[in-house]
Amino acid sequence: MDPKQTFLSWPVVRQVRSGDFLGRGPSVTSKRTRELTPRTVTADRVVQSVCPYCAVGCGQRVFVKDERVVQIEGDPDSPVSRGRLCPKGSASEQLVNSPGRQRKALYRRPGAADWEPIELSKAVEMIAQRFVDTRRRTWQDHDEHGRPLRRTMAIASLGGATLDNEENYLIKKLFTAAGAIQIENQARI
Amino acid sequence: MQDLSNADCIVIQGSNMAECHPVAYQWVMEARLKGARVIHIDPRFTRTSATADKHIPIRAGSDVVLLGALINHIISNELYFKEYVVAYTNAATLVSPEFQDTEDLDGLFSGYDDEKGSYKQDTWAYASADGEGDESPGTIGGPAAVHEHGQTESERSAGEQHGSGGPALEHARVLRDETLQDPNTVFQILKRHYSRYTPEMVADACGISVDDFHYLAEAVTENSGRERTTAFVYAVGWTQHTLGAQFIRTAAIVQLLLGNMGRPGGGIMALRGHASIQGSTDIPTLYNLLPGYLAMPVAGLHDTWEAYLGAIANKEQKGFWANADTYAVSLLKAWWGKAATAENNWRFDYLPRLSGAHGTYQTTMAMLDGEVEGYFLLGQNPAVGSAHGRMQRRAMSHLKWLVVRDFNMIESATFWKDGPEIVSGELVTEDIETEVFFLPAAAHTEKSGSFTQTQRMLQWHHQAVQPPGDCQSELQFFYELGRRVRELLADSTDERDRPLLDLTWDYPTDGHGEPDAEAVLAEINGRHLTGDKAGQPLSSYTEMKADGSTEGGCWIYTGVYADGVNHAANRKPGREQDLTALEWGWAWPANRRILYNRASADPDGKPWSERKKYVWWDEEQGRWTGHDVPDFVPDKAPTYRPEPGTGGPAGLAGDDPFVMQADGKGWLFTPKGMLDGPLPTHYEPQESPVRNPLYGQQSNPARKVFPRKDNLWSPSGGERGSEVYPFVFTTYRLTEHHTAGGMSRWLPYLAELQPEFFCEVSPELAAERGLENGGWATIVSARTAIEARVLVTERMTPLVVGGHTIHQVGLPYHWGVGKEALVSGDAANDLLGVALDPNVQIQESKAGSCDIVAGRRPQGEALLRLVEEYQSRAGSTVMTGNVLVTPPEEESR
């Protein structure tokens, strides 16, 4: 027997002393457990957010430590969700921290068998050039009756239902001004 | 959402709410704890069924028969809420005597155009008194009076423009018979239209027993009226059909007849599947819309500003859409600023024009034809999530350049190296000339912005951390792309570049180049441009002007930034507020939580009952008041009656609660706007083993079909060859995955919880086909064959329909073929073909025909041969299923 253990540390005595009659509470916690602190307590700050999955719009609390998301939990303040999250919402810390998440821009040349790395800024520049070039070559000014069209049918886009309103607004504004009309999102499916 | 807990009965149909929207489901459970009856109508028994009072299994695609029979039951037993129906709906309104019903024409309405495969809707209009000497401006309608042909309306997906109200009508002056006895009243037409939708027909078409029908009918009618309300809840189980919009319309008729619209615990709740799918419809990344449900202009219809204005709103119609000119001018001012002036019609000419349907499926086919060079994928994975995955992937292989912005390396980004067509040898990596850019996206925790949830509520999420590596928000990417495109064109003298160069494109950024999302929200909200309020945010869309003195990017969102405060970020805890919780987030329009809530009070403005009190007229204050923001002009008394012929909001009487409708009434019958008929009518799905039991016309005659070799269909309803694909399949979602898996199959927790694609079959079907639980099955449609693990379960019920046993196969659609996700598998959506609802251009993914056999599918070329062998045995040709009007010889078979 561990000499530091006394009569007082006998299980049944511990239970009686701590009022833990069923033996499921403090009387049976290990030293390690007692020393653990929830990440939610040691976080530097808590930021109010909204679950990114379905459209119920459950409230989330994002716990940040050392400029990194360490935990995401349901927001009890939300009148919609009252602190609850479903399995997806509960897993959203993994959505942002998953090791499989892509963090670098990649480029695949025509006919290539694999990706190659690319500088983000260079990729954006190449996309802008292709955008301008495709638009110029495929411009439709009028239809066969001389009615205005002012568009290109060679640039399309898909997606938006997972994005912010402000993002959808800029996407629609830019594409419309450029004359690209085949702009669609998940609402069509 | 919380309001569901006020319901006395909840019917969940076309949704598996407990598993797909679990957190919202707490409010259904709350209602049930308070004594509400919960009924789940669905092909499968799910956890929603397990927690409901009753599960009623239904054959996929037969919902209009069931709900139509409910309408018939309500009318023939006089169970409707008479006062509500007469005062608040168009039941008493007279329809043109030229209107002919599907009862008269064996499944077609009057106005069908054989050549165009769509309806001309003029015979569906309200009757008008053409009395001489009537000078009211409502008599003649201006440009909106021209009835647009259903074909062009369908092409521009005009149905969707009614996302915030009904279509413009020719006039506000209608004939009414409040005794409801005139044979041309909507009420009498409705009664005749559904007279053959009987409990026996429900048994025959849906596979639902007469007893179960009566259970439903009693629950719904006993829990409606002054004292009680019933709510309906649906999801894509209703929308993804070739008459999806009509499924919802049928429920709307039931709810209007029972007086459940605009009242607490009533209404129809749409459960949507993405965080801001409502927002991306309001501020649409959709081809047919401009922000706030304004139409995109169409060549030939809207060539001039005058023609456009006349079409989007008629000053002579009643309601708030009459002011659409102020919304359109404010939008153009927001986009083109000083360059937009009265002299140049606010630069209306800068807008590109539609000339047909340019939806995602049409665009996919245009890619196959080599017409599309560049494609952006922004958090969407069509290789797995869209119908006919094979067509999607092959289409993308024809692109010149593709930009994929996502968190993970989704299948749509890698189809060129590990897609199923590479495996089968149909495509060869080296031959695919598509240049692909993968740009990683920022997560919701790494950017600020607003999502609009399913009940129109905007909620702001605050940035918590900086995005890692190259990850960027769409806000930053598109701002930057726009900046660079404008730089490249800066010296252009080409007139076509003016819309880009004149665009207001200057937002403050932070030290990381991220634009200030709140500045964008402020532009969406709008501001005064002139006068002593110049620069100040608008507080309501009623402040918008058509003279260029205001700007605003999305009129229905005006008010979210009132007084310069970001109301989407309002966060007063729910427990410190009443259930409506007006101080949490901000709901459009005007922070209203229940639309049309004027209907929660009787015509005199008093609550229908103490128990269902919500919004009422306060006689002393001379104002509407209550638990919500009243959806009515605040000081318009219930007794107010407009001068005959008055248009706009002032044309609405004090007892016209449906303020966005052109006549102020809830529409039982839609004189305009629904392209496949003014009343929902049962048609069989594009592919169905069942012959339409009600009409000679088999399927929706206005549906959109695409006769192509790569889009073949099974023969339907007893046609020769239909036995080759004898079973019905339906697709669905699981709790642990999200849509096409881009946000779930890469997460260890979720991938482990649902690791593998499976199909659900009944023990009877398993016995018939020798399928073993846990074993493999191959499911074959007229498009392709896929393999899945078998789950034999009594959750699937064989139904007897038309004297035959119909087996249904359930397929969750989250997996895809690729090497990058933690879990992969065949994609259920590969089985689907492309046939669309004419109103909204949405595909039919909830009902199709298939065969199922034991064992794994063949690989490589052998897979293609198997699919061809089935097609040839069924005798499927490009015209199979694609003849819109059923020929008489087939009707008699």
H or E element that contains B483? helix B474-488
Q: Residue A189 and residue B360: Cβ atoms within 8 Å?
A: yes
Q: Residue A100 and residue B822: Cβ atoms within 8 Å?
A: yes
In B, which residues are within 8 Å of A159 by CB distance?
A: 285, 376-380, 405
Q: Residue B374 and residue A130: Cβ atoms within 8 Å?
A: yes
Count CB neighbours of B891 within 10 A: 15
In this complex, the residue of B464, B478, B577 whose CB is nearest that of residue A62 is B464
Q: Residue B747 and residue A168: Cβ atoms within 8 Å?
A: no
Bond preceding residue B589 cis, omega within 30 of 0 = yes
> B650: which residues sit within 8 A by CB, 6+ positions away?
B642
In A, which residues are within 8 Å of B436 by CB distance?
A: 107-108
pLDDT score of B172 = 58
Cα distances (angstroms) measured from residue B771 to each of B257, B722, B732, B785: 46, 22, 21, 16
CB burial of residue A29 (10 Å; 0-12, 13-18, 19+): middle
Mutant choice from A84, A165, A182 vs B, greatest count of B C-beta within 10 A? A165
In this complex, the residue of A88, A111, A143 whose CB is nearest that of residue B433 is A111
Cα distances (angstroms) measured from residue B211 to each of B37, B431, B527: 17, 61, 59
pLDDT score of B140 = 30
**Burial annotation B105-142 (CB, 10 A radius, 16+ → b, else e):** eebbbbbbeeeebbbbbbbbbbbbeeeeeeeebbbebb
Query: 400-439 in B: which are within 8 Å (CB) of A?
Result: 400-401, 403, 405-409, 416-417, 429-439
In A, which residues are within 8 Å of B291 by CB distance?
A: 169, 172
Count CB neighbours of B756 within 10 A: 11
DSSP characters for B490-549?
A: TT---GGGHHHHSS-----B-TTS-B-HHHHHHHHH-EE-SSTTTTPBPS-GGG--SSSS
In this complex, the residue of B469, B584, B747 whose CB is nearest that of residue A79 is B584
Instruction: Note whether B165 contacts A: Cβ–Cβ < 8 A.
Output: no
Count CB neighbours of B740 within 10 A: 27
Task: Confirm or reject CATH 3.40.228.10 for domain B2-86+192-270, answering yes or no.
Answer: yes
In this complex, the residue of B352, B457, B521 whose CB is nearest that of residue A57 is B457
Tokens coding B328: 């359109």
pLDDT score of A5 = 74
Count CB neighbours of B513 within 10 A: 11
What is the CATH architecture assignment of B704-891? Beta Barrel (2.40)
Q: Residue A111 and residue B430: Cβ atoms within 8 Å?
A: yes
In A, which residues are within 8 Å of B349 by CB distance?
A: 148, 150
Yes or no: say if B811 and B732 are a contact pair by the CB < 8 Å rule: yes
Q: What is the mean pLDDT of each successive set of 10 residues along chain B, which is 893 residues long?
A: 96 98 98 98 98 97 98 98 98 96 97 94 87 35 53 79 73 84 98 98 98 98 98 97 97 98 98 97 97 96 94 80 94 98 98 96 98 98 97 98 98 97 95 98 98 97 98 98 98 97 98 97 98 97 97 98 98 97 97 97 98 97 97 96 86 93 93 95 97 97 97 94 96 97 97 97 98 98 98 97 95 96 97 97 96 97 96 97 86 50
Q: Residue A68 and residue B465: Cβ atoms within 8 Å?
A: yes
Nearest alpha-carbon partner for B740 in B275, B394, B411: B411
CA distance B630 to chain A (A): 20
Question: What confidence tens digit (pLDDT) does each residue in A89-140 have?
Answer: 999 999 999 988 999 999 999 999 999 999 999 999 999 999 999 999 999 9
Taking the C-alpha atoms of residue B302 and residue B310, their distance in angstroms, rounded to an integer, is 9
Q: Residue A53 and residue B500: Cβ atoms within 8 Å?
A: no
Nearest alpha-carbon partner for B704 in B842, B849, B832: B842
> A74: which residues sit within 8 A by CB, 6+ positions away?
A58, A59, A60, A61, A81, A82, A83, A84, A85, A89, A90
Q: Residue B350 and residue A79: Cβ atoms within 8 Å?
A: no
In B, which residues are within 8 Å of A66 by CB distance?
A: none
What's the CATH number for A39-97?
2.20.25.90
**What are the residues facing B799 on neighbouring strands?**
B806
pLDDT score of A4 = 65
In A, which residues are within 8 Å of B25 by CB distance?
A: none
Instruction: Give how far the C-alpha of residue B558 lies from the chain's centroid of Cα atoms, to the nearest Å.
Output: 23
Nearest alpha-carbon partner for B411 in B443, B377, B387: B377
Residues of chain B with CATH 3.40.228.10: 2-86+192-270
CA distance A43 to chain B (A): 12
In this complex, the residue of A91, A174, A186 whose CB is nearest that of residue B750 is A91
Q: Residue A85 above 90 pLDDT? A: yes
Inter-chain Cβ pairs, chain A and chain B, closer than 8 A? 472
In A, which residues are within 8 Å of B400 by CB distance?
A: 130, 134
For chain A, give every domain's residue range: 1-36, 39-97, 138-188
H or E element that contains B389? helix B389-396
Q: Residue A165 and residue B451: Cβ atoms within 8 Å?
A: yes
Mutant choice from B21, B399, B445 vs A, greatest count of A C-beta within 10 A? B445
Residues of chain B with CATH 2.40.40.20: 704-891
pLDDT score of B435 = 98
Query: Average pLDDT, stretch A21-43?
Result: 88
3-class DSSP state of B268: strand
> B365: which residues sit within 8 A by CB, 6+ positions away?
B391, B395, B706, B708
Tokens coding B104: 């008269």
Mutant choice from B16, B26, B380, B591 vs A, greatest count of A C-beta within 10 A? B380
Query: Average pLDDT, stretch A34-62?
Result: 95
Count CB neighbours of B327 within 10 A: 27
Query: 706-745 in B: which are within 8 Å (CB) of A?
Result: 735-739, 743-744
CA distance A35 to chain B (A): 26
> B795: which residues sit within 8 A by CB, 6+ positions away?
B44, B45, B46, B760, B810
In A, which residues are within 8 Å of B335 by CB distance?
A: 173, 176-177
**In the block, which residue shows the tokens 């180049």?**
B513
Yes or no: say if B454 and A55 are a contact pair by the CB < 8 Å rule: yes
Q: Residue A18 above 50 pLDDT? A: yes
Mutant choice from A62, A78, A90, A173 vs B, greatest count of B C-beta within 10 A? A173
Taking the C-alpha atoms of residue B634 and residue B207, their distance in angstroms, rounded to an integer, is 49
Instruction: Note whether B840 contacts A: Cβ–Cβ < 8 A.
Output: yes
